[in-house]
Amino acid sequence: MNIRAVAVDEATRILSIIDDCRHLEGPMLPILHKVQAEFGFIPEGAKQVIAQALNLSRAEVHGVVSFYHDCRDHPAGRHVLKICRAEACQAMGCEQLADGLKARLGIDWHETASDGSVTLEPVYCLGLCATAPAAMLDGTLYGRLDEDCLTDIVAEVRR
């Protein structure tokens, strides 16, 4: 399959998403969420397609994509692990846990382990302040994290 065919297929899929969301008030975020759900990230070429369809500049779309932490410009790992870095979690040691986890995985924030198993992302409140430190793995929340719990989570995602 050549690159041009892939780009045409990508644009067709993006235009279909835009058509589904165009009627919404403020359709850009729903469009971006659906594009990311479709592709696993927001392809660079999608920004121009969205911009043209919504009568915006590509820079305006890029600004929204780069502003929101949940928008990705590259594919994530098979699992996404978000570590809360809000004040309550900081007070309960999340930074030390995160530093140990980053060292164990050999990655930093917004990076994916070399085996593609997990992408590590910071988040600034999961609403589990009373059970800090907290994390979320693929939408499942974990509270009262400690080294043992993180070791179990890493073992699970690396299977």
Q: pLDDT tens digit string along 127-153?
A: 999 999 999 999 999 999 999 999 999
In three-state secondary structure terms, 140 is strand
Separation of alpha carbons 137 and 79, rounded Å: 7
Reported pTM = 0.80
Tens digit of pLDDT for each residue in 61-72? Answer: 999 999 988 899
Mean pLDDT, rounded, for 71-85: 94
Question: What is the model's pLDDT at position 52?
Answer: 94
Find where tokens 């979690």 sit.
89
Q: What ranges do the domains of the chain cover?
A: 3-67, 79-157
Four-way CATH pick for 79-157: 1.10.3470.10, 3.40.50.720, 3.40.30.10, 2.40.30.40: 3.40.30.10
For residue 82, pLDDT over 60 is answered with: yes
Question: How far is it, in rounded angstroms, from Cα 96 to Cα 46?
Answer: 38
The pLDDT tens digits for 39-52 are 999 999 999 999 99
Q: Are 13 and 50 in contact (CB under 8 A)?
A: no
First to last CA, the chain: 32
